[in-house]
Amino acid sequence: MDLLTSQEDLQTTFQPIIPIRGCMTPYRHWEEEEEEEDGYFYHGCYADIQVPSVKQRMYFPRTIADRKIPQNEVLLNDNKTLFLTLLKTPRSLDGIDIPQSDFYVTICYHGIERSSGLVLKCIQIYIHPTGQSYTVMIDHTCLLKNLKTLQFTQFGRLLKDPDIKRICWNPRYIQSAVEHQLGFSLGKCIDLSVMFPTFTLSQSIHLYLSQWQDKNQFDYLETLMHQKDVLCSCWSCPFLPLDVQRYCAVEAWAAYSLYRICFVALQ
């Protein structure tokens, strides 16, 4: 069975890369606060990456009360848009917009391996069909002082609520880290890795989404990530490079598309 041709809303031909547009919308209602560094040195990320010909557009709030989280956009094919939001303070975890009706949450993650196990540095949350994509900086948002209350935030609800439909690549791999760093257990997820037990998420995307409508854009951003061979500490920086945010967001969108093609098409 040709899984690609059975999915109506995913095109089966390569499309030109649509320029990525960055913009900023006003802030949501809380004050930004700087968190102290925890003294760790982090690896496995890419900094100082630049995307050519990126047009920036900025919207300024009319009043101080209109402040909201800064937001960027990634333009996809088929008139779709990913709305990127970086969450890097504890208060920002309640700034996630959760839809009232039927929706899916796709979870991706990034971290480092230590002798004691995985240490999470970033959790990416893509919400379908709204197109909202949240990059959560774990070291800046999930602190000891708010560890007991994390599960009651909008972020905690998305990861824990049993009524929310979640998609994740090998959620068992991060379960222990979630419990240790976030203070609660990750809720039930649709495990994408069950379908591809011998592949990584990236390998599965390249193999099964070879004609996916946004494959060119994913390849472009992934190439930017791999161009940096030197280990750096971007996950601990106050401002995550925008290109890293874009890659994390498009990767989560790819994971959801993988679910649509390889799971839904088989039903």
pLDDT single digits (tens) 159-208? 999 999 999 999 999 999 999 999 999 999 999 999 889 999 999 999 99
Q: Which residues make Cβ contacts (< 8 Å) with residue 163, sequence separation at least 6?
A: none
- Percent of the chain past pLDDT 90, that is, above it, reads 58
- The correct answer on CATH 3.40.50.970 for the domain covering 21-266 is no
23 bridge partner residues: 57
Q: Give yes or no for a contact between 237 and 47, defined as CB atoms under 8 angstroms apart.
A: yes
Split at pLDDT 50, 70, 90, the class of 241 is confident
- DSSP structure class, residue 174: H
Which of 101-110, 133-142, 161-170, 234-243 is least confident? 234-243
Q: Is residue 21 pLDDT above 90, yes or no?
A: no
Span 26-74, pLDDT tens digits:
434 343 444 444 433 333 333 333 333 333 333 333 333 334 556 799 9
Cα–Cα–Cα angle for 24, 95, 131, rounded to 5 degrees: 60
The tokens 């991706």 sit on which residue?
108
Helix (H, G, I), strand (E, B) or coil at 235: helix
Kindly state the average pLDDT of the residues 246-261: 96
Average per-residue pLDDT in the chain? 78
Domain ranges of the chain: 21-266
On the question of pLDDT at 110 being above 50, the answer is yes
